[in-house]
Amino acid sequence: MKNKIVIILTLAISLLIPSTSYAQPYGKGIYNANIPYGNETSLSIATSGDVTIPITPTLSGVQQSANNTITVTSTDVKGYKLYIRAINNSAMQNQGTLLPASSNSTPAPLATNTWGYNLDGSANFVGITLSDVLIHSVTTPVPTGDNTTVTYSLKMNLAKGAGLFVGNVVYTAVPQTD
């Protein structure tokens, strides 16, 4: 009998905008930018939704992947930075059973019974951490939206029990300030 495991990454979205904005000193602004004089800038973030990775483990291990698209819309003349991190725990959990994040700090193949992410859709992944990691930055306004695709993957064998493993990921978009 094969155990079917469904992995769901529940994604939280953070939007960090300073509560007070200050004008640039004379001569430091960007002339003729996409923001008319006197208008406020805006920043918004959205994802393509929760990520579900159905997988049927084998004795030797099998790997599956799924994508999530993050769209940031910003009229900030200096662009934005996009970060990723895990919430509370980098391991996925299923009723006390843990599926740890990969120990890869640079892109590499996943070890069995780990999970990770990448930004290039390759077969190499890094493990998510509890600290913010910069995954994308833009230095111009993107009033029509800018997409970043994150590919999540996991590799499992029969050592993990069947069930629903859940991990929590936060994306944070921050306006550029320098």
In the predicted structure, residue 8 carries a pLDDT above the cut 90:
no
Q: Lowest-pLDDT range, 5-19, 24-38, 68-82, 103-117?
A: 5-19
Task: Show the domain range for 165.
Answer: 5-175
Is 163 within 8 Å of 56 (Cβ atoms)? no
pTM of the model: 0.82
Output the CA torsion sign for 134, 119, 102, 7: positive
Number of domains in the chain: 1
**91 pLDDT more than 70:** yes
User: Which amino acid type is present at position 173?
Assistant: A
118-175 pLDDT per residue, tens: 999 999 999 999 999 999 999 988 989 999 999 999 999 988 878 888 898 999 998 8
* pLDDT for 37: 54
Residue 82 contacts residue 169 (beta carbons within 8 Å): no
DSSP structure class, residue 33: -
- Residue 125 burial by CB count (10 A; 0-12/13-18/19+): exposed, middle or buried? buried
- Residue 35's pLDDT is 58
> What pLDDT score does 13 carry?
40
What CATH number should be reported for the domain holding residue 169? 2.60.40
Q: What is the pLDDT of residue 38?
A: 52
Pairing of strands 163-175, 5-15: parallel
